[in-house]
Every structure is written in C-alpha cells, then in structure tokens.
Amino acid sequence: MPISTKRLGAAALAAGLMLTGVDAFAQAQKQTPPAQPPAQQQPAAGQPGGPLRVELQPTQGEWTKICGKDQAANKEICYTTRDFGTAADQPPVLALAVYDVKGDDQRIVRLLLPVALMLRPGFRFSVDKGATQEGNFEICFPNGCFAESKVKGPTIDQMKKGTTLNISVKNQANNEVTFTIPMAGFGKSFDGAAMDPKVLEEQQKRLEQELQKRAEEQRKTLEAQPGAAAGGASAPSAAPK
C-alpha cells in the first residue's frame, strides 16, 4: 500500500530554492499537496452548517529555515516553514512558509491549502486576537492551492511573539473554515541560522521511510482481518491521493 501523499517537507524546498528563488515553494511542492480538505469536519457546537474550526498540530519536529540565492535578483532569500495536520502522525493539511528577501522591507506569508475552498474573497489571517490581514490565492493544483500575503516587519514581529495563527477561508458551501496553527518556536527559527540542506534532506528521507513502514504495517493488519478480501474490496490508501 504505497503512500500517495508525501509530507510537505522542506527537503524538496531546499533544493528548489537554489534553482528558482522566490518561486521555490510553489515549484518544489507541486507534487506534494496537502491532505484532502476537512469537508467532513463537524460544525462548531450549536452552529449546524455554520463556521468550522480546525485545530492543527505540527507534523514536523521543528520550524525549518532554509536560505539560498536568487540568481535572477542576485539576492539572498530565506524562508521559515513548517507543515501542519490534524495529528502529528497524519498527512499534512496545511503548510506555512514565511519568506524574507535580504534588503527588502516586504516579506511574504505563503500558504499551501487544501482544495475545495472558494478562491474569492481569498483568505484572512491574524495572530492570536490581533488585527486581521488579507491575502489572495495564487494558483491551484489538483490537490492543493497556494495563497500568499505581502506583509512588513510589524506583522512578522507579531508572528514571532504570538501563540496561534488563525487562517480563515470559505469552503464550497460558503461556510467559514478557520485553521489554527501553533506559532511556538517560529521567532527563534526565523531569526536563527539556516539549516544545512543536506542535513534537512536526510531528515526528510527518514520521515518518509517511517511513513512507508507504518503504511506497510497498516496493510498487513487490514489483510489479516477476517473477510478482508471478501467481495474483492481493496484496502484504503494510507493517505489521500
């Protein structure tokens, strides 16, 4: 039972950054989309069919900072990224990367979000209970959409000090969905030294090997269940396609 959705790890991003600069996040993650949207999530208590709140957890141990040079602009670009899912051992639902171009006052908050979301009016985000900012969807692939917002220093400072980032979008039923992700450790990574891409790639390989091992164990468990092969039904994939 192969894993059809890889983690949105930064190893691929590291290689992509050296080749394509600011567009690395999109280029490197074309084939590593997030898990399917939380269409089956239950509405908030007392609000049938109303707003949904999806609390996500990191699927990577720490925030990761990668730096490289954009050959076209002749500038150094760093980004700090992390993947988030409904549980640490589940495929990612969302990825966040914050780009910092040396010498530029403007930064980019870039997200990889699930499909089946309304592209207009875009997305909104806030740190804790702070002011809300807006961003736009840029491009979608079959299993994931990229969105970004251009921000300045004060917003990054809020993200460094905050505890939770709230990201609000609308689903295909026009209901608001708010993803919440923890920001602990972001500031330390953003201001800290970049990780060696080779070390990061090796870490990613180990993560993928562990996922494959779990998928194989799940397959064997399903096959061992009585009636597993009855009717020719196939076992479900370990992760969405």
Q: Is residue 68 part of a domain?
A: yes
Q: Is residue 28 part of a domain?
A: yes
Q: Is the pTM of this model over 0.95?
A: no
Note the pLDDT of residue 227. Answer: 67
Q: Is residue 237 part of a domain?
A: no
Q: Tell me which residue range forms the domain holding 150.
A: 10-34+51-194
Specify the number of domains making up the chain: 1
Q: Is residue 184 part of a domain?
A: yes
Take residue 155 and report the two structure tokens written for it: 């917003």
Q: Is residue 102 part of a domain?
A: yes
d(C-alpha 163, C-alpha 128), whole Å = 6
Q: Is residue 4 part of a domain?
A: no
Note the pLDDT of residue 91. Answer: 83
Q: Give the domain CATH number at 116.
A: 2.60.40.1880
DSSP-derived 3-state class of residue 59: coil
Q: Is residue 233 part of a domain?
A: no
197, 66 in Cβ contact below 8 A? yes
Q: Is residue 41 part of a domain?
A: no
Residuewise pLDDT in 10s, the chain (241 residues) = 222 233 333 323 332 332 233 333 433 343 344 454 454 344 444 444 678 899 999 998 889 999 988 887 788 899 999 999 998 878 889 999 999 998 888 999 999 999 889 998 899 999 999 999 999 999 998 878 999 999 999 999 999 999 999 999 999 888 999 999 999 999 999 999 988 777 777 877 877 887 788 788 888 888 888 765 544 443 333 333 3
Note the pLDDT of residue 216. Answer: 85
